[in-house]
Structure 1
Amino acid sequence: MSWKNPPDHWGGVSQLLHWVIVVLLVVLSVVGLSLDSLPRSPKYFWVYDMHKSTGLTVLALVVLRLGWRFYAGAPRPLPGTPTWQARVASVTHWLLYALILAMPLSGWLYDSASGLRPLRWYGLAEVPKLSPPDEALSDFGQIAHEWLFWVLLLVVIGHAAAAFYHHVFQRDDTLRRMLPRRRRPTDPGVS
Structure 2
Amino acid sequence: MQASITNSTSRYGWGAILLHWLIALIFIAQFGLGFVMVRLTSQRTAFQLIQWHKSFGFLLLGLIILRIAWRLGNSAPALPDSVGALERRTAPLAHLALYAFQIALPLSGWALVSVSTLDIPSMPFDLFVMPNLPIGESDAAESFWTAAHWYLAYAGIALVAVHVAAALRHHFQLGDAVLTRMITPSSDRNGE
What's the TM-score once normalised by structure 2's chain length? 0.90
Equivalent-residue separation in structure 2 for 1:143 and 1:169 (angstroms): 38
How far apart are residue 182 of structure 1 and its match?
A: 9.3
DSSP-derived class of the 1:128 partner: coil
Query: Aligned runs of 1:74-85 on 2, under 5 Å?
Result: 74-85=76-87
1:68 aligns with: 70
CA contact (8 A) 1:4 1:73 kept: no
The alignment yields a C-alpha RMSD, in angstroms, of 1.8
Which runs of 5 or more residues in structure 1 are unaligned? none
1:180 aligns with: 184
Q: Residue 65 of structure 2 aligns to which amino acid in structure 1?
A: V
Equivalent-residue separation in structure 1 for 2:160 and 2:43 (angstroms): 33
CA contact (8 A) 1:107 1:145 kept: yes
How far apart are residue 170 of structure 1 and its match?
A: 0.5
Q: 2:171 aligns with which of 163, 167, 178?
A: 167
DSSP-derived class of the 1:126 partner: coil
Deviates more, 1:36-45 or 1:155-164: 36-45
How far apart are residue 82 of structure 1 and its match?
A: 1.5
**Residues 141-178 of structure 1 deviation map (CA, whole Å, 9 limit, x = unaligned):** 11110001111111111111011011001010011010
CA contact (8 A) 2:4 2:13 kept: no
For the pair 1:28 / 2:30, whether they are aligned, the reply is yes
DSSP-derived class of the 2:77 partner: coil
How far apart are residue 2 of structure 1 and its match?
A: 5.8
How far apart are residue 70 of structure 1 and its match?
A: 0.2
How far apart are residue 29 of structure 1 and its match?
A: 1.0
Equivalent-residue separation in structure 1 for 2:186 and 2:65 (angstroms): 29
2:53 aligns with: 51
How far apart are residue 181 of structure 1 and its match?
A: 4.4
How far apart are residue 45 of structure 1 and its match?
A: 1.1
Which runs of 5 or more residues in structure 2 are unaligned? none
For the pair 1:122 / 2:125, whether they are aligned, the reply is yes
How far apart are residue 84 of structure 1 and its match?
A: 1.0
1:139 aligns with: 143
Aligned length: 185
What's the TM-score once normalised by structure 1's chain length? 0.90
**Residues 26-62 of structure 1 deviation map (CA, whole Å, 9 limit, x = unaligned):** 2111110111221243222111100011011000000
2:97 aligns with: 95
Equivalent-residue separation in structure 1 for 2:20 and 2:8 (angstroms): 16
Equivalent-residue separation in structure 1 for 2:169 and 2:177 (angstroms): 11
Equivalent-residue separation in structure 2 for 1:12 and 1:21 (angstroms): 14
Deviates more, 1:12-21 or 1:29-38: 29-38
Equivalent-residue separation in structure 1 for 2:5 and 2:85 (angstroms): 28
DSSP-derived class of the 1:19 partner: helix
Equivalent-residue separation in structure 1 for 2:90 and 2:80 (angstroms): 14
Q: Residue 128 of structure 1 aligns to which amino acid in structure 2?
A: P
CA contact (8 A) 2:8 2:77 kept: yes
Query: Aligned runs of 1:144-159 on 2, under 5 Å?
Result: 144-159=148-163
